[in-house]
Structure formats: C-alpha cells, structure tokens
Amino acid sequence: MRTIDQFNFCNQKVIIRVDFNVPIDKNTVTDTSRIEAAKQTIDKICSDGGSCILVSHLGRPNGFQDEFSMRKIIDSVKKVLDKKVLLSNDVIGEDSTLKASNLKPGEILLLENVRFHKEETKGDLNFAKQLSQLGDCYVNDAFGTAHRAHASTTIISKFFTNKFFGKLLEKEVLAIKKVMSSGQKPILAILGGAKISSKIPILKNIIKIVDDIIIGGGMSFTFSKALGGNIGKSICEDSMIDICRDILKSAEKNNVKIHLPLDAICSLDFDNNSSSEVFDIMNIGDDYQGMDAGPNTLKSFEKVILKSKTILWNGPVGVFEFPNFSNGTKALGKYISESTDKGAFSLVGGGDSVAAVKAFGIQNNMSYVSTGGGAMLESLEGKTLPGINALLS
Ligand code: AMP
C-alpha cells in the first residue's frame, strides 16, 4: 500500500478523489463528516507545498442539474477545511483546466460534480485520461466509492505512476484487515438488519474467519422459522430458509458458534406506539411481530461481546428508528463500547449500524466507524474493491 506519508508533494498538483457526497436539505449541508474525513489528506498535501484538485460526485444527477452542483457545498468545504477553496464550473473543460494550471502550492480547487458526465459512471477511458491531465499525481481518499470502477475512482489510476492511498482510505483498509486477516481471537461478527438475503455473501465469507456470530434483528426470524419456531407476523424471507439451514450446518463444520436471539419484544403493529410484549423467540404470538431484542437475548449477547477481542458490527438488532424499539441496538452499542474499553478492536460498518451509533452518540467509543456503506459490505464479502486494486497495480 503506497500511502501519502511516503511521498513529499512539494510543487505537485495532486488530483484527490474525495467523497463529498454529503446530505443536503434546503441548500444546507446537514452532515459534514465526509468532508471532515478528507481533511487530514488535504492538510498533509498542502503542508508539503502541493496543491489539491478535489474531485467528487454529489447525488445521482442526470446530466447537469443545478441542485447537484458543487456550489451547494462549497461554503461547507471552505469552513471544514478552514482554507480558501476555488471552484470550477466544469470538470474537464476550459475553466477547470485554467484554474488547475494556475494553482499555487497550498491552494485548493474543487471541480464541479464529476457525475455531470455520464462517462464517469461508465468508467470511460478517454474521460479518465482528460481528467488525469489536470494533475501530476493521484490520491484516492474516497472509500465510499472504492467499490465502483468509475473513471475518477479507478480508471484514472492507469495514467499515474505516482498514485497513493489517502489517509481515510488507508484507515478503512487497515480496519478491515484488522478484522478479516489479522484479528485477535476470539473474533465476533454481529449481523443484524432487515434482510438476510443481503447478508448471505457476508455470512458465507466470515464463517471462515470468525469464532462467533451473533445474528439479530429482522433477519434472525428466518433462522427461527428454519429451526421450526412460530414467528407470528415477524419479517421473514421464506426463500432463504434452506440457506439458513446450510449456514447453521456450515458454522458447525467450521467450529463457529452462532448466537441467535432467545426472546423478542414484539408488537401488534409496525408502529412506535403499538403495545408490546416479550415472547420466547420460538413461540411468538400469531398476531405479533418481533421488533427488538428481548431481555434474555441481551444478556446472552452481552456475554459473547465482552469475551471477544475483535468485533465487527453490521446491522441493528431491532427497529432502532422507533425509540420504543431502540433499546436492544442501544444496549449492544453499550456492550461493544465496554469491550472496546477493555482492549477489544471494534469495527462498525455498513449503513444502518453506522447511523445507529451516530444516533446514540457512541461513535467515539468504537475503535473504527467506517464511512463506506456498499464499499464496506463488499469488503466484508471478501471482494477486493476496484478502486483499491487500481492503486496497487
Ligand atoms: P439492513 O439495511 O438490512 O441492515 O436493515 C436495517 C433495517 O433493519 C433498519 O431500518 C431496521 O429498522 C430494520 N430492522 C431491524 N430489526 C427489524 C425487525 N425486527 N423487523 C423489521 N425491521 C427490522
């Protein structure tokens, strides 16, 4: 892995692929954490005496659309980076070429939304080549799009001998490695969320790596049904029942212990204010649906979490968006915090569990909280991401 620390960027114009795809509500950026995540890389290059040409997408525009213009975020970028940042009104046109060629050491240019060109997502070679000509070297710091073979995330790498992992990309890759290939035992994976089908490739991969797997949340009910339980109206994917049985068998063969819930807090309706009751996981009332982990489940999960030295968490163990059914996911966060305090390495990755730790304000208690949803999931599936591969070749 060639990282930015191994190079002095003095007098270099550096194209940095960042992920500034931030949420915007009524012209206001509501969460600047993706911009903050790129600051370390940008600061290092500027302090070396290099200049930065920032490339990012914003949303999913169809051609040029004002609502996805980088003008919407430029003030937040300046504020977070605490530096003057120029903006070009195109990506590979006259304006960006002129502004890039006039950049002085320490200066920063943000290009217009790279997805205004359909060539970006198509991974067009010629577009990547034109983009590459704006700079002398390339840094990828956009973990969130590293699973896409797009022009600015992957193809552009072909045109540089000097290409590097940015600080964020480096941290993400090291955190995944710490779990998947050099984790201290016992290694625990906690998988939750609604759909078992979306987690099957992860389960199949991690079963070869971990010692324990906790399965919670909506996806656990398909396992309960596979084991002959009555799950009432709980969420279930019938087409996955046989696969659940195969996974249980494969776990046994690999000496991996699967921990399923023992009980669940169940409600009559999918509603925060619906009346609720605790049921044994194998015998849920016909009119009820599982909404959150029950008290016995939490006690059993707590034991496993506290004995683990490496913990991967993907997916909530209940409908945490409803305050009345968020207790299980919150408790899990607390146990992982305690285990981390005692020296375990904890990685939280993949959309909703990241949203949960942020909502509960415990992100700083985890060893690492990933910034990439799809990219993290594909990494956990054991795939090498194209954006990362391109930097290595
Ligand atoms: P996923 O995207 O598959 O990780 O699923 C995350 C979603 O799973 C969250 O929106 C949770 O509300 C949902 N979820 C977790 N537990 C349950 C459950 N018991 N029933 C329905 N949805 C659930």
Q: What 3-state DSSP class applies to 17?
A: strand
pLDDT at position 355 is: 87
Residue 175 lies in a domain: no
The residue type at 185: K
Element holding 377 (H helix, E strand): helix 374-380
pLDDT band at 154 (very low <50, low <70, confident <90, very high): very high
| 338 & 236 share domain | yes
- Whole-number Å distance between alpha carbons of 146 and 100: 24
What's the structural domain count of the chain? 2
Segment 276-280 long-range contacts (CB within 8 Å, at least 24 positions apart): 276/324, 276/325, 279/232
pLDDT band for position 335 (50/70/90)? very high
Same domain, 226 and 373: yes
Q: How far apart are the C-alpha atoms of 244 and 241, rounded to whole Å?
A: 5
What is the CA(44)–ligand 1 centre distance, in A?
40
End residue of a domain, out of 170, 196, 224 = 170
160 and 47, same structural domain?
yes
If we measure between CA atoms, which residue out of 230, 229, 247, 220 comes closest to residue 318? 220
What is the mean predicted confidence (pLDDT) over 143-160?
Answer: 97
| Whether residue 351 has pLDDT greater than 80 | no
Rounded Cα distance, 193 and 198, in Å? 9
| Same domain assignment for residues 80 and 221 | no
**Residue 27 pLDDT level (bands cut at 50, 70, 90):** confident
198 lines ligand 1 (CB under 6 A): yes
**pLDDT tens per residue across span 188-231:** 999 999 989 989 999 999 999 999 999 999 999 999 999 999 99
Q: How confident is the model at residue 316 (pLDDT cuts 50, 70, 90)?
A: very high
Closest CA to ligand 1's atom 12 = 319
Report residue 232's pLDDT band, with 50, 70 and 90 as the boundaries: very high
* Confidence band, pLDDT 50/70/90 cuts, at residue 325: very high
Q: Are residues 89 and 231 in the same domain?
A: no
Q: Does the pLDDT value for residue 306 go beyond 90?
A: yes
- On whether both 216 and 356 belong to a single domain, the answer is yes
Rounded Cα distance between 216 and 139, Å, is 38
What is the number of the ligand 1 atom nearest to the C-alpha of 321?
12
C-alpha 194 to ligand 1 mean position (Å): 4
Whether 178 is in a domain gets the answer: no
Task: Give the number of other CB atoms < 10 A from CB of residue 70.
Answer: 23
Is there a contact between 134 and 99 (Cβ–Cβ < 8 Å)? no
pLDDT at 69 over 90: yes
Confidence band, pLDDT 50/70/90 cuts, at residue 350: confident
315 lines ligand 1 (CB under 6 A): yes
Residue 387 domain flag: no
The mean of the pLDDT values for the chain is 96
Compute the CA torsion angle 129, 131, 137, 138 (nearest 10 deg).
-100
Going by pLDDT thresholds of 50, 70 and 90, the confidence category of residue 373 is: confident
The pLDDT assigned to 227 comes to 97
Structural domain includes residue 388:
no
User: Could you tell me if residue 280 is inside a domain?
Assistant: yes
Average pLDDT over every residue of 329-355: 94
Candidate list 195, 257, 307, 309, residue with the active-site label: 195
Q: Is 74 in the same domain as 210?
A: no
315: containing domain: 183-380
DSSP-derived letter for residue 221 is H
Inform me whether the pLDDT recorded for 352 exceeds 90: no
Nearest CA to ligand 1 atom 10: 319
Final residue before a domain boundary, out of 135, 170, 205: 170
Give me the CATH number covering residue 220.
3.40.50.1260
Amino acid at 389: N
Shortest-distance atom of ligand 1 to CA 264:
19
Say which residues have a Cβ less than 8 Å from residue 320's Cβ, sequence separation at least 6.
Answer: 326, 328, 329, 330, 352, 356, 359
Q: Which of 81-90, 255-264, 268-277, 355-364 has the lowest mean pLDDT?
A: 355-364
Ligand 1, pocket-test mutation among 199, 202, 220, 235, most atoms within 8 A of CB: 235
Angle between helices 167-180 and 33-48 (to 10 degrees): 120
The verdict on 189 and 123 lying in the same domain is: no
Ligand 1, atom 6: nearest CA belongs to which residue? 193
Domain assignment of residue 176, yes or no: no
Q: Which of 352, 353, 370, 380 to mutate to test the pocket of ligand 1 (most atoms within 8 A of CB)?
A: 352
Which residue of the set 34, 44, 115, 178 is catalytic? 34
pLDDT of 371 reads 87
Q: Are residues 53 and 161 in the same domain?
A: yes
**What does the pLDDT read at residue 202?**
93
Mind giving me the DSSP string for 329-362? HHHHHHHHHHHHHTT-EEEE-SHHHHHHHHHTT-
Is 14's pLDDT higher than 90? yes
205/268 same-domain check: yes
Inside any domain, residue 82: yes
Atom of ligand 1 nearest to the CA of 350: 4
Is the domain of 128 the same as that of 36?
yes
User: Last residue of some domain: 170, 199, 221?
Assistant: 170
Please confirm, yes or no, whether 34 is among the known catalytic residues. Answer: yes
In a domain, 221, yes or no: yes
118 and 240, same structural domain? Answer: no
Q: What is d(CA 162, CA 139) in angstroms, rounded to the nearest whole number?
A: 9
195 is catalytic: yes
Residues in CB range of 7: below 8 A, 6 or more apart: 137, 162, 164
pLDDT mean over 248-269: 97
178-188 mean pLDDT:
94
Q: Is 373 a pocket residue for ligand 1 (Cβ < 6 Å)?
A: no
